[in-house]
Amino acid sequence: FLTTRGTGSHDSEVPLPVWKERTGETSAIKRARLLYESRKRGMLENCILLSLFAKKYLNTMTDSQLSQYDRLINEPSNDWDIYYWVTGAQDPPAEFNNEIMHLLQEFAKNRDMEQRLRQPDLEYLFKESQ
C-alpha cells in the first residue's frame, strides 16, 4: 500500500513524500518539466489526456495557472483520482477545483470529437525554432 502520510498500520506501506511547490524555477523550466510529467504518468489514459492538454495549453498558461497544473498532476498520489475528477466521475476536492481543473474538464469532454488515441509527437516543440 502507498500512502501520502505514512501513518498506516501496515508494515508494507511506503510513505510517499509530501508535494511541495518548487521555487526558483523559471517558467521555461517549469513548462518543460510539466510537459515531461504530463507525458509520463502511471496510466495510459492520463498519459494521453494530459499530454494532449499540455500540448494545447501549457505554453499559454500564466504562472498562477502553471502552479495550479503542477499541483494537480503532482500532489495526488493516485492517478485514478485525477482521471475521475477530470472526467466528472467524481467531484474534485476543493483544493483542486480551480481554473485549471475546469479547463481540463472541458478539454476532456472533447466537444470537437478529435481522435485521441495516443500522445502527440514532440515535433511541434521544434517548429517555432526552425
Distance between CA atoms of residues 72 and 40, nearest Å: 15
Which pLDDT does position 40 carry in this prediction?
A: 94
Percentage of residues of the chain with pLDDT beyond 90: 67
Which of the pair, 40 or 14, is modelled with greater confidence? 40
The three cell numbers locating residue 51: 499530454
**What are the pLDDT digits (tens) for 84-124?**
999 999 999 999 999 999 999 999 999 989 888 889 988 87
Which pLDDT does position 130 carry in this prediction?
A: 45
Of 97, 68, 92, 64, residue with least CA distance to 80:
92
Per-residue pLDDT at 129 exceeds 70: no
- What domains sit in the chain, N to C, each tagged with a CATH number? 25-125 (1.10.150.250)
DSSP bridge pairs for 2: 14
Mean pLDDT across 18-28 = 90
